[in-house]
Amino acid sequence: MSQTLAIIKPDAVAAGNAGNIIALLERAGFTVKALTFTSLTAKQAGAFYAVHAGRPFYDELVEFMMSGPVIPMALEAENAVPKLRDAIGATDPAEAAEGTVRKLYAESKGRNAIHASDSDENAANEIGFFFSGHGRLAVG
Ligand code: CMP
């Protein structure tokens, strides 16, 4: 078993799709190990996406991620990182496969409903960004 981090983004929370997204992920075989409902500050959103600093979409991404509440979750499954990326679909919903979170709930490349870690190393860092041990919150 391994873990990965998902964040239900502000567009999906505001649209009332969070429950359906969590249900879809549970049906896909993930167990929710930690979950919180929070709003990111500019500093937190900027730090979380620091790897994208300097990309043309960075400012828009940070602005969007602090535009409303988000739901970060630590999810567990076998091969959790690739399994979650399969379940959420391509970054651009126009390219996402049928039945994926982004096909069902994303509006655009930017407003794309959900984030997922892209490697085991990033998953560990990203889970640590929001949660410290046994689901206790690390954000402040
Ligand atoms: P996410 O999986 O959260 O990781 C990085 C995010 O950057 C990605 O989802 C998209 O929301 C965002 N992103 C990537 N490319 C673009 C783009 N061309 N325009 C706007 N946002 C983008």
Measuring CA to CA, which residue among 123, 125, 139 is closest to residue 77? 123
Ligand 1 nearest-atom number relative to CA 112 = 11
Domain limits at 28?
2-131
Q: Is the CB of 50 under 6 A from ligand 1?
A: no
Q: What's the whole-number mean pLDDT along residues 120-138?
A: 85
Kindly write down the DSSP assignment for every residue of 46-88, as one continuous string: HHHTGGGTTSTTHHHHHHHHTSS-BEEEEEEETTHHHHHHHHH
Whether the per-residue pLDDT at 140 is higher than 80: the answer is no
Q: What's the whole-number mean pLDDT along residues 34-52?
A: 96
Q: Does 140 fall in a domain?
A: no
Q: Is the CB of 118 under 6 A from ligand 1?
A: no
Tens of pLDDT, residue by residue over 21-31, are 999 999 999 99
Ligand 1 centroid – CA 57 distance (Å):
7
For residues 69 and 7, the answer to whether their CB atoms sit within 8 Å is: no
Q: What is the pTM of this model?
A: 0.94
Q: What is the CATH classification number for the domain harbouring 110?
A: 3.30.70.141
Whether the per-residue pLDDT at 73 is higher than 90: the answer is yes
Whether the per-residue pLDDT at 36 is higher than 60: the answer is yes
Whether the per-residue pLDDT at 56 is higher than 90: the answer is yes
The C-alpha atoms of residue 82 and residue 14 are separated, in whole angstroms, by 27
The residues annotated with a catalytic role in the active site are 115
Helix axes 80-88, 120-130, angle to 10 degrees: 80
Q: Does 138 fall in a domain?
A: no
Q: Does 139 fall in a domain?
A: no
Q: Does 137 fall in a domain?
A: no
What pLDDT, on the 0 to 100 scale, is given for residue 134?
A: 54
Whether the per-residue pLDDT at 132 is higher than 90: the answer is no
User: Which of the four pLDDT bands, split at 50, 70 and 90, describes residue 136?
Assistant: low
Number of domains in the chain: 1
Ligand 1 centroid – CA 61 distance (Å):
7
What pLDDT, on the 0 to 100 scale, is given for residue 59?
A: 97
Q: What's the whole-number mean pLDDT along residues 81-103?
A: 98
